[in-house]
Every structure is written in structure tokens, then in C-alpha cells.
Structure 1
Amino acid sequence: MDKLNLDQHISGQFNRELDDVRHRVLTMGGLVEQQVGKAVKALVDNDMELAESVIEGDRKVNHMEKAIDEECNLILARRQPAASDLRLVISILKTITDLERIGDEAERIARLAVRLGDSDRGGRNYREIESLGRHVQAMVRDGLDGFARMAPEIAVKLAREDETVDSEYDAILRQNITYMMEDPRNVRRTLDVSFAARSLERIGDHAKNIGEYVVYLVEGKDLRHAPIEEMEKELNKPE
């Protein structure tokens, strides 16, 4: 497949439609990134008001996904795009699906924050959750930056970051198992913390997916599920 070539089209309106939908994806992504940061802060700081704002904000994320999806379908029906234009629309549709799912995970963390806030926190400061949250929020930001710059190399960076996130998540689970074994009264609370960590790990997976969609958009290559070494090899192939 040929590489991305977003040349000017005969129809100036078509150019404006493509530019508009790309801008709307980045706007949605910025909101989702904020949702992740606020959800983690709500849990760590026991901030119920912030948690409720995240839960309410998920409606806006869902609305944005629906609106962008509808715009993409109109472009497909009216313009019948081909080659790189078609890849752009397909990549956007896939990207907003992952962004919406990131928003769902942020909402889930916020709901867990509310539940944890209603119980005895047991002196936990959630340093590990805070660290993992910062990491996956940075991954979302990197994925959106790669999309904005049309930079396929971001996929390799995100794949490596995702491996680190998986390791951090495993460490949190091991630690939480120890807490539960030491005091069975901690089971419910510690399970909720584990669920929050699981949501963060999933956010990392979705951010990694966005990097892979950038590769498809720019290079026309499907590198989903490919090992990091294979991704690097494909992206470094000479023209």
C-alpha cells in the first residue's frame, strides 16, 4: 500500500471535512486524557467531587465519539474516499473507539474512587496507582501526539511503554495479594484498588492501539499484535 499522501483535493470542501474530523479526534483525545488524570487524582486524594465530575464527563466523551462516527460515515457515503483518504477515515473510526474505551475505564476508576471513599481507606496512599496513572496518561498523550504529527515511530515507543505498564500492574497485584493475606479485612478495599489498576493497564493497551493505527494511516501497514522487533524492522525498511 502507498504511504500517506494528504494532497489537496479538487474539492476544497473535502479538505475542510478531513481537517475538521482530525481536529475533532484530537479534541476528544484531550478530553479523554484529562478524564484519566482526574480519575486517578480523585482516587488518590479521596476527592469525591472530582470523581463525580469524571463520571458526568463520560457522557461528553460518548457524545463526541458518536458525532465523529457519524461525520466519518457521511464522508464515506458522500466522498467514497480511496487510498490514503480512506485509511485516514478508517484510522479515525478505530481511534475514537479506543478513546471511548479509555473514557469508560476512567469512569470506572472514578466509580471505584467513590466506593473507596465511602470505606475505611486504611492509611493507604496509593503511590503505585498514582505512578501507574501518570504513566498511562503519558501514553495517551504520546498516542495523540503521534496521530497529530502523523509519526508512525510512536508505535514502537508506545509498545515499549506498554511492557513497562504491564510490569507495574503485575507488581501492584502481587503487593495487593500480600495485603489481603495479612489482613482479610482488607479484601474488599484491596480488590477495588486492583480493579482500578486493571483499568489503568487497559488504558495502556488502548493507547498502544492508537500508535498502531498511526502506522496504518501513514505507512499502510497493519502491525497489530506484532512484536516490537518486527515493528522496528518494518518501520525502518528502506523505500
Structure 2
Amino acid sequence: MDLSGHTHHISRQFNMELDDIRTHLSEMGGMAQRQVNDAIQALIDADQQKAEQVVQADRTVNSMEVSIDEECLRILARRQPAASDLRLVIAVTKAITDLERIGDEASKIARQAMALNRDGMAPRGYVEVRHIGNHVSKMLQDALDAFARLDIEMALNVVQTDKTVDLEYSTAMREMVTFMIEDPRSITRVLNILWSLRALERIGDHARNLAQYVIYLVNGEDVRHFSEDQPDEDPAR
């Protein structure tokens, strides 16, 4: 979808400010996605150095959130945007909160990787981490692309994929718990995998939130609490 509807203003400076927050959001999203991918890889490969880098990168993501939030506040105070421009600023302020939390969850996975390196490799669970991790990473990429393109169809696909991730997470949790019951000696190490899977599931939730902001940005409709029990209501309307 054409972004020009958000950029045609008499003030060239206003145009630049709106472009800047979109660009900076994209940069923050890219950083958060690298954190997620590196954290997953650090866990699977037992890569201590990469895990430490993920934790350190979280500071950068936090700083980016503060900086973009300040940009948005300045636009609200100076420009008093309306209609689609106001929705853009609001959507960006919400999106950076989710991206910051994605960074936090990636750091949790990295810390679990470091713990496993100290305590010994987990007896199982890496297949589930890789599988769910691939789904979640794709969700995040698609959500960011949908935000950049204002692509509602892609955003809706992300929302639907989150349901699949939730089901896969529940299945993986049951399998891990069963394994711990069968082999109590593995409890500590398998718990590290469980916390990592939980963090991945939460990343999926945040990616879903990003996708829902796209729908809000384009249609002006908040679908975060849309109920599946209301089939006559179309969230993309």
C-alpha cells in the first residue's frame, strides 16, 4: 500500500519527521530480529560468545526505544497530527514497546544458553526450539514488513500464525514435562529449554501485536481484543 497518504504535508519538515520515525522503527525491528535469531542459534550451538552479544545488544534496543519515543512525543507536541498521521505516531509508540520486550525475551533465551553451557547440554528440546524459533522469526519479519508496506493481508497472516505457534508451544511443553518425569536427573537442564520455549512464545505474541498495529494504522480499528466468537466481524474491515 502506498505510504504517500501519510507524507503529503505543506511542511517538508513534518514529512521528514514522519519518515524518520518509520525508518528508526525499521532499524529497531532489524536489531530485535537479529537478537532473536542469534539467541536461538546461541542456544542450539552452545555458543557462549554469541549469547553474551545478544545480552549486550539489549542495551542498544532499549536506547532505541527511548530515542524513538522522544521523537514521537516531539511530533505530538509540535505538530498535533490528526487522522492517519496521528495513528502512525501512536502505532509507532506501541510498536517500539513490543520490540523492546522482544529484545528482553531474546536476552532471556541467551541467558538460558549460557546456563546450559555451564551446567551441561540439555538432553533434548533443541528440535522444538529450532522449529518454534523458525516460526517466530518468520512472524517477526513478516510483521515488520507488513508495517513498512501497510500490508493488511500479511498482517492477518501473522495473527493467524500466532495461533499455530501457541499450539506448538503447548505440545512442546507437554513433551518436555513428560521427559522430566521420566528422567528426574534432567529437570534442571530441561527447565532451561522450557523457559526458552516460553520466551519464544512471548516473542510470537509481540509479533502478533505488531501485525495488529498495522490493521489499526490502515483502518483505524483496534483489533487487539477481537473475539473469534464473533465471526461476523471482520478485523480487516
TM-score of the pair, normalised by structure 2: 0.94
CA gap 1:167/1:205 in 2 versus in 1, 3 angstroms? same
Pair 1:79 & 2:76 matched: no
Number of residue pairs the alignment of both structures matches: 233
Q: Deviations over 1:28-86 (max 9, x none)?
A: 00110110000000000000000000000000000100100000001111111111111
Instruction: Report if aligned partners of 1:156, 1:231 keep a CA contact under 8 Å in 2.
Output: no
**Structure-to-structure mapping, 1:105-144, within 5 angstroms:** 105-124=105-124, 126-144=126-144
Per the alignment, residue 176 of structure 1 pairs with: 176
Unaligned 5+ segments in structure 2 are none
| CA–CA distance in structure 1, aligned partners of residues 77 and 71 of structure 2 | 10
What SS does the aligned partner of 1:5 have? helix
Q: Distance in 2 between matches of 1:131 and 1:94?
A: 28
Preserved CA contact (<8 Å) 2:136 2:200:
yes
The residue type paired with residue 104 of structure 1 is D
Deviations 1:145-165, CA, capped at 9 Å, x for gaps: 000001122332112100110
Indicate how the Cα distance of structure 1 residues 234 and 197 shifts in structure 2: closer, same or farther if over 3 A, else same: closer
* Residues 44 and 125 in structure 1, CA contact (< 8 A), matched pair in contact too: no
User: Which amino acid in 2 is paired with 1:207?
Assistant: A
- CA shift, 1:178, in A, is 1.3
Identity of aligned residues (%): 51
CA distance, structure 2, for counterparts of residue 66 and residue 85 of structure 1: 20
Distance 1:60 1:219 in 2: 32
Shift of the 80–148 alpha-carbon distance from structure 1 to 2, 3 Å rule, reads: same
Normalization by structure 1: what TM-score?
0.93
Relative to structure 2, which stretch is displaced further, 141-150 or 178-187?
178-187
**Contact 2:31–2:61 (8 Å) recurs in 1:** yes
- Per-residue deviation, residues 207-238 of structure 1 (Å, max 9, x unmatched): 00011101111111111121467597242x4x
Q: CA deviation at 1:125?
A: 6.2
